[in-house]
Amino acid sequence: MRKPAAVPPEGKRGRFIPWSRAHFSYNLGLRIALLLSAPAWIPWVLLSRKRRKNFPDRLGLRLERIPPPAGRERIWVHAVSVGETLSAVPLLRGLRERLPETEILFSTVTLTGQEVAEKALGGMTDRIFYFPFDLPGICGRFLDRVRPDLVAILETEIWPNFLAECARRRIPVVLLNGRVSKRSLRGYGRFRSLMSDVLSCITAISVQTEEDAVRLRSLGADPDRVWATGNMKFDLSLPPQGDTPFSRLLLGEKANGACWIVAGSTHEGEEEAVLRAFGSARKENGSIRLLLAPRHPGRFGAVEELCRRSGWPVVRRTSISGDGGIPDAPVVLMDSVGELSAAYAAADIAFVGGSLVPKGGHNILEPALFGVPTIVGPHMENFREIASIFTRGNAVITVRNGEELAGKLAEWAADPAKARATGDRAKALLGSFRGATGKNVEIVARELARRKDAP
């Protein structure tokens, strides 16, 4: 896979969508659809407390909650929901460092996105609010109240009227971390004339891959404004190894010949499979030990009892002193919080939980950062794109069930060099994708400066 490009050169400025037949048809169709579907969507809104909560905000009826500009430059960052909001964390941190005097406002569409933003973005934004419905009058009122100097939209949130109103006011818009799936391409392709008009309003478009760039250009985006800069999700802030007492203990055991399998963030129904697979690995390599880290603290006692019923002597992490070493038990139960990073840093093999059972999986980037060969189950829905990239690159191994997990652990226990090669590929692949956030921060800073210098 091609490495993302460096920070792209300056692009052209956006322009206002002409009142074309496509744009006229979009608004006419939108109004007719809203009118005809009113008997369905009005009760749908009114009968739901959650939907009533953000409906007035998106209509622009509570704009007084958004403070007017206070003399500083203002950036409006928009992310539709939870995934985009989480990927915005390193971007906002970078913008705070790069543009410390600039106000940053943040919007979402969904209630869950708003809730996550309130928790995850504390201290990084000056105000969080809901994005407007894509109607000209509503979008115009929002922009007149917010008065941003630049709008940054994450992923591929394309709202024709909002972008037209930005262009009318000569507000630069940058699309960051964009992507266009095959399915989206087919949908957008049916409205290519409108898409061409809409994309002409965007000053700079940063997409995840060269394939995404080709697809956007095929929809009418100016080739001079579209660049592949990588995926910001690979820039999630991962805790460093650190020099903690626990990491020293684990590395000390490695120096004495131990080989650690770390099963991180496991859920109910997975520990049984992990323990059976661990037994298969121990038959191939008696130096292998297991560090078992359940996802939820409330299950520590039950997992400890499961280990004992399965015939494995187990010691709890909290019973291990910082100076006395780790007792010679084959299984260490991680009954502490915040030390999984130290465990991955010392691991020889990792299994990332929530994936053998349908829990959506957990993040594989942390073990990849440390070059740890990693195994996951088939349920990686919450990290589908990242898991797919690593699987295609033979940088993470996906197993379908506990039997396949046992087979892979036994194989790697018998051939550590083969396992290390998988970990090396994961570390190199992650390194090739990291850096998109910094490039996107520079794009925002550059377009903001161009706005300031514009006549």
- Terminal Cα distance for the chain, rounded: 42
Which candidate, 453, 452, 446, 451, places its Cα nearest to that of 6?
A: 446
DSSP letter string over 319-330?
A: G--SSS---S-S
Token readout for 107 is 């919007």
Token readout for 2 is 């091609």
Q: Are 251 and 216 in contact (CB under 8 A)?
A: no
Could you tell me if residue 161 is left (phi over 0), alpha (psi between -120 and 50 degrees) or otherwise beta?
alpha
Rounded Cα gap, residues 395 and 375, in angstroms: 9
Cα dihedral value 72, 85, 442, 102, nearest 10 = 10
3-class state of residue 160 by DSSP: helix
What element of type H or E holds 187? helix 182-189
Rounded Cα gap, residues 429 and 1, in angstroms: 9
List, in sequence order, every residue forming a beta bridge with 221; answer none if it has no partner.
none
Which candidate, 256, 207, 249, 211, places its Cα nearest to that of 232?
A: 207
Which candidate, 70, 81, 140, places its Cα nearest to that of 106?
A: 81
Q: Which residues are catalytic?
A: 84
Could you tell me if residue 329 is left (phi over 0), alpha (psi between -120 and 50 degrees) or otherwise beta?
beta
Rounded Cα gap, residues 196 and 199, in angstroms: 5
Rounded Cα gap, residues 360 and 423, in angstroms: 22
Rounded Cα gap, residues 334 and 316, in angstroms: 6
Residue with tokens 């292998």: 288
